[in-house]
């Protein structure tokens, strides 16, 4: 039972309670009660003794641990929130390229900044929607290493900056060690949850992907300026830019439904945004993967059948074949090739070399695509 109020009851009164009618119900008032707040939802408590003084730890499903003094005396201490954390799973994690800072976000609508060098949480900022994607801007975009891009479940992307207030003019030498967050820019490129964010290695283009099956591109200057968007075959699962060592800057788009898409980095001057942001002339390569397990199995059965036929022929000619036993080939018909209706979802992928990338699919072994110009990928085996 989740609660915001802790009630203390007299056990003897409860134990000896006697209903006055046939309902079996007895109404009584608690001895004491402690209200923790409207944003508290307790679901577990345990009692601890410290130097003879009992106190309680309470777990808050909204992401906190409370230390409670339930003595209800004149010396009772106020409730203390010992620590806070995400309530539920963490959706995304990003690490600063220059400092020991880490950022996380979750569907509990918070973005948290940690210093993993001191193992401490520095800052918590709440928003109106849950966070679904996060990445730390590279040093080429923000030389101070303090800029973060966060995507939310309503399609909004927020660019926030983390800074040390002690370094601001007029605040030198102040003792505060808590990081501050400044909201730099907000834009809404998508109509559904943002699922992927990626900066081009040169820091000139920023890409966002969403469950609405679109990828939006932004030019990075003093502000993020929209270039346009493209449509892809499925909800976006991940975005990966080609490394700086590659001759061309391309974006690998991985979709949840098994599609992989590759596009070059769009140039702002080549796309007119006067009437629409939809980019229709961007060269695009589509790759769709499906299971060939049944085909490989059928090929193995054909080879085994041919091998047994050859052994039989050799023995009929009076020749000995070492290392074999008398085996009769099965005359059962070979099974039909089966291709699953739903392709295996893509777990992750990344570039390995120019024109090559690795993919990991659900319930499949790792795939290495070594020629992005060939399609379909039936000749490409795991």
Of these ranges, 33-42, 178-187, 313-322, 347-356, the one predicted with the greatest mean pLDDT is 178-187
pLDDT in tens, 109-118: 999 999 988 8
Query: pTM score > 0.85 for this model?
Result: no
Q: Which residue has the tokens 């769009």?
A: 266
Mapping DSSP to helix (H, G, I), strand (E, B) and coil, where does residue 209 land? strand
Residue 269's φ and ψ, nearest 5 degrees, are: -70, -10
Q: Please return the burial class of 205, using the count of CB atoms within 10 Å of its CB with bins 0-12, 13-18 and 19+.
A: buried
Mapping DSSP to helix (H, G, I), strand (E, B) and coil, where does residue 12 land? helix
Span 51-61, mean pLDDT? Answer: 83
User: 314 pLDDT band (50/70/90 cuts)?
Assistant: confident
With vertex at residue 374, the alpha carbon angle to CA 266 and CA 302, rounded to the nearest 5 degrees, is 150
- CATH 2.130.10.10 in the chain, residues? 90-288
Of these ranges, 78-92, 123-137, 281-295, 351-365, the one predicted with the greatest mean pLDDT is 123-137
User: Alpha-carbon dihedral of residues 228, 232, 236, 242, nearest 10 degrees?
Assistant: -70
Nearest to 161 by CA among 184, 185, 132, 186: 184
Residue 358's φ and ψ, nearest 5 degrees, are: -100, 145
Q: Is 203's pLDDT higher than 50?
A: yes
Q: Is 316's pLDDT higher than 80?
A: no
Q: Is 54's pLDDT higher than 70?
A: yes
Q: Which residues pair with 205 in a beta bridge?
A: 219
pLDDT in tens, 166-187: 654 444 444 345 788 899 999 9
Q: Which residue has the higher pLDDT, 284 or 24?
A: 284
Give the pLDDT of residue 367. Answer: 57
Look at 184-193, 319-328, 343-352 and tell me which has the smallest mean pLDDT. 319-328
Give the pLDDT of residue 325. Answer: 57
Task: Work out the mean pLDDT of the chain and round it to a whole number.
Answer: 82
Give the pLDDT of residue 340. Answer: 58
pLDDT in tens, 62-71: 888 888 888 8
Q: Is 323's pLDDT higher than 60?
A: no
Cβ contacts of 313 within 8 Å, gap of 6 or more: none
Give the pLDDT of residue 205. Answer: 96
In CATH terms, 90-288 corresponds, of 3.90.245.10, 3.30.70.260, 2.130.10.10, 3.40.50.1400, to 2.130.10.10
Q: Is 352's pLDDT higher than 90?
A: no
pLDDT in tens, 226-278: 999 999 999 999 999 999 888 889 999 999 888 899 999 998 888 777 889 99
Give the pLDDT of residue 216. Answer: 98
Q: Is 364's pLDDT higher than 60?
A: no
Give the pLDDT of residue 174. Answer: 46
Rounded-to-integer distance, Cα 95 and Cα 369, Å? 29
Give the pLDDT of residue 192. Answer: 97
Q: Which two tokens stand for residue 350?
A: 């990344």
Q: Which residue has the higher pLDDT, 214 or 23?
A: 214
- Check whether the bond before 289 is cis (ω within 30° of 0): no
What whole-number percentage of the chain has pLDDT above 70?
Answer: 81
Q: Which residue has the higher pLDDT, 193 or 378?
A: 193
């Amino acid at each position: 039972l989740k609660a915001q109020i802790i009630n203390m009851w007299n056990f003897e009164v409860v134990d000896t309670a006697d209903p006055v009618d046939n309902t079996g119900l007895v109404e009584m008032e608690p001895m004491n009660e402690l209200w923790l707040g409207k944003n508290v939802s307790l679901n577990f408590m345990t009692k601890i003794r410290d130097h003879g003084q009992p106190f309680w730890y309470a777990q808050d499903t909204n992401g906190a641990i409370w230390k409670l003094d339930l003595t209800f005396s004149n010396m009772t201490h106020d409730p203390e929130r010992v620590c806070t954390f995400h309530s539920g799973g963490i959706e995304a994690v990003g690490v600063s390229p220059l400092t020991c800072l880490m950022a996380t976000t979750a569907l509990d609508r918070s973005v948290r900044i940690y210093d993993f060098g001191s193992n401490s949480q520095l800052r918590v900022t709440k928003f109106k929607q849950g966070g679904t994607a996060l990445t730390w801007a590279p040093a080429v975009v923000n030389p101070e290493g303090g800029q973060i891009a966060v995507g939310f479940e309503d399609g909004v992307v927020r660019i926030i900056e983390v800074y040390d207030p002690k370094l601001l003019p007029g605040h030198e030498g102040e003792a505060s060690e808590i990081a501050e967050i400044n909201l730099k820019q907000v834009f809404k490129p998508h109509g559904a949850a943002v699922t992927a964010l990626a900066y081009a290695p040169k820091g000139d283009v920023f890409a966002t992907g969403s469950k609405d099956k679109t990828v939006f591109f932004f030019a990075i200057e003093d502000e993020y300026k929209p270039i346009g968007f493209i449509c892809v075959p499925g909800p976006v699962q991940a975005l990966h830019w080609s490394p700086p060592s590659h001759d061309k800057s391309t974006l690998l788009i991985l979709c949840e439904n098994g599609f992989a898409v590759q596009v070059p980095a769009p140039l702002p001057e080549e796309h007119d945004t006067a009437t629409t942001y939809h980019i229709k002339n961007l060269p695009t390569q589509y790759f769709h993967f499906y299971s060939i397990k049944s085909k490989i199995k059928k090929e193995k059965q054909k080879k085994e059948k041919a091998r047994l036929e050859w052994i039989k022929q050799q023995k009929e000619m009076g020749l000995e074949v070492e290392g074999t036993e008398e085996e009769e080939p099965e005359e059962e018909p070979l099974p039909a090739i089966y291709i699953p209706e739903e392709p295996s979802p893509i777990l992750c992928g990344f570039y390995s070399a120019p024109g090559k990338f690795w993919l990991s699919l659900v319930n499949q072994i790792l795939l290495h695509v070594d020629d992005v110009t060939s399609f379909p990928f039936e000749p490409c085996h795991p």
